[in-house]
Amino acid sequence: MVKQERAQVTRGTIVSGAAAVFGRRGYGLASIADIAAEAGVTKGALYFHFPSKDELARAVITEQHRRTMVAAAEVVEQGLPGLETVVRLSAVLAHQLLTDPVVQAGIRLTTDVSMFDPPVTEPYEDWLRTTEALFRQAAEEGDLRPDLDPGMLASVVVPAYTGVQLVSETVARRADLLERLRDLWTVLLPGIVPPGELERLRRLPDLIH
């Protein structure tokens, strides 16, 4: 049991080290030697836990997605209106992107399209499902234009968010992420909510700070 716990700790250390190196260099330029050095383990120990760079990268994405989903669940469980919940979730992910190196690396790896065969699409599909369910709730609450399909809306909003955080990383090392996210919602909201509800809901982007 103690041995198993120690193995768990070592795995966690390696995943953190891998996140740091993938986050700095991207998948292609990250080397196993760099990751072992960063994690303070031997290459042998690293290979014992993760036989390939591909598996290391998938482990970082899995851990990132777990952390993001834990934080997301805390928001969803508050039982707030659907639309407010989606806006708050986008802010939660933004804060993780600003502060957590594992989340930074995981999201970066997820958008490193070419690296994985098969591509990693589970996190995207999870977000799509969650967002669609919340938009469906928003529709029942009267906060969605009646002609708007919640599934189609989710399949636009999730990629739009992906692009906003990617451009913010590229041009400003994410310094403007929260502002860009407020702008995204400011532009989207009048197209999402029924005209008569806009006045009531137009301050939703201010939740992001």
Q: Enumerate binding residues for its own copies (CB under 8 A).
A: 23-30, 108, 110-115, 119, 121, 124, 145, 148, 152-153, 155-164, 166-171, 180, 183-184, 186-192, 195
Query: Residue 156 CB, nearest distance to its own copies (Å)?
Result: 5
Q: Which is nearer to its own copies, 23 or 82 (CB)?
A: 23
The single-letter code of the amino acid at 179 is E
Q: Which is nearer to its own copies, 73 or 187 (CB)?
A: 187
Residue 148, φ and ψ in degrees, nearest 5? -100, 125
Query: Residue 207 CB, nearest distance to its own copies (Å)?
Result: 17
Query: Residue 117 CB, nearest distance to its own copies (Å)?
Result: 11
Q: Which is nearer to its own copies, 40 or 151 (CB)?
A: 151
Q: Which is nearer to its own copies, 137 or 168 (CB)?
A: 168
Query: Residue 48 CB, nearest distance to its own copies (Å)?
Result: 24
Query: Residue 7 CB, nearest distance to its own copies (Å)?
Result: 30
Q: Which is nearer to its own copies, 99 or 170 (CB)?
A: 170
Query: Residue 160 CB, nearest distance to its own copies (Å)?
Result: 4
Residue with tokens 């802010």: 91
Q: Which is nearer to its own copies, 17 or 23 (CB)?
A: 23
DSSP secondary structure of the chain: -HHHHHHHHHHHHHHHHHHHHHHHHHHHH--HHHHHHHHT--HHHHHHH-SSHHHHHHHHHHHHHHHHHHHHHHHHTT---HHHHHHHHHHHHHHHHHH-HHHHHHHHHHT-GGG-SS---HHHHHHHHHHHHHHHHHHHTT-S-TT--HHHHHHHHHHHHHHHHHHHHHHHTTTTHHHHHHHHHHHHHHHHS-GGGHHHHTTGGGG--
Kindly give the interhelix angle for 53-76 and 82-99, rounded to the nearest 10 degrees: 140
